[in-house]
């Protein structure tokens, strides 16, 4: 990238980049790397490094139908429903029925992808619930 592009992408002013480029500077290698990368490659790397947002839509769908806020689910508790071996309590059954009946497929897909839950496990758990 050129100096102007480096400024646009990472916000390092030309004077800073010049300082980094001096032999012996602790960011000399970073300056070299930035100069060798194309702008598209740098933007792609930055986009790839951004953390995925937590899948809150499925959680919202489940919790919106539960009036008692003390019984609302957290993301962890919702995830654990798909791994639970003990009998489900009425709220857990209700949550799974809500997912089965009301959740959009995209909500469930985002949730499953984020938490790396095997699709077969999700299908098995949801199939075991009478809607």
Statement: residue 91 has pLDDT above 80: yes
- Please report, for the chain, the start and end positions of each structural domain, with discontinuous segments joined by +: 3-49, 56-127
Instruction: Calculate mean pLDDT across residues 87-107.
Output: 93
Which pLDDT score is estimated for 11? 92
66: tokens are 């539960």
DSSP H stretches of helix in 50-89: 56-64, 75-81
Instruction: Calculate mean pLDDT across residues 11-18.
Output: 92
Is the pLDDT higher at 2 or at 131? 2
- Contacts (Cβ under 8 Å, ≥6 apart) of 61: 98, 99, 102, 103, 104, 107
Residues 100-110 pLDDT 10s: 999 999 999 99
Cβ atoms of 104 and 74 within 8 Å: the answer is no
Supply the pTM of this predicted model: 0.61
């Amino acid at each position: 990238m050129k100096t102007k592009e480096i400024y646009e992408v990472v916000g390092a002013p030309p004077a800073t980049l010049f300082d980094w480029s001096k032999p012996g500077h602790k960011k000399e290698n970073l300056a070299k790397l930035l100069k060798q990368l194309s702008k598209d490659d740098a933007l792609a790397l930055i986009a790839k490094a951004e953390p995925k947002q937590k899948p809150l839509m499925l959680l919202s769908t489940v919790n919106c139908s539960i009036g008692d806020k003390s019984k609302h689910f957290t993301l962890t508790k919702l995830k654990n429903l798909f791994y639970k071996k003990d009998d489900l309590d009425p709220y857990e059954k209700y949550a799974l029925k809500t997912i089965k009946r009301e959740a959009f497929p995209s909500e469930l897909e985002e949730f499953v992808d984020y938490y790396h839950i095997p699709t077969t496990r999700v299908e098995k758990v949801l199939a075991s619930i009478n809607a």
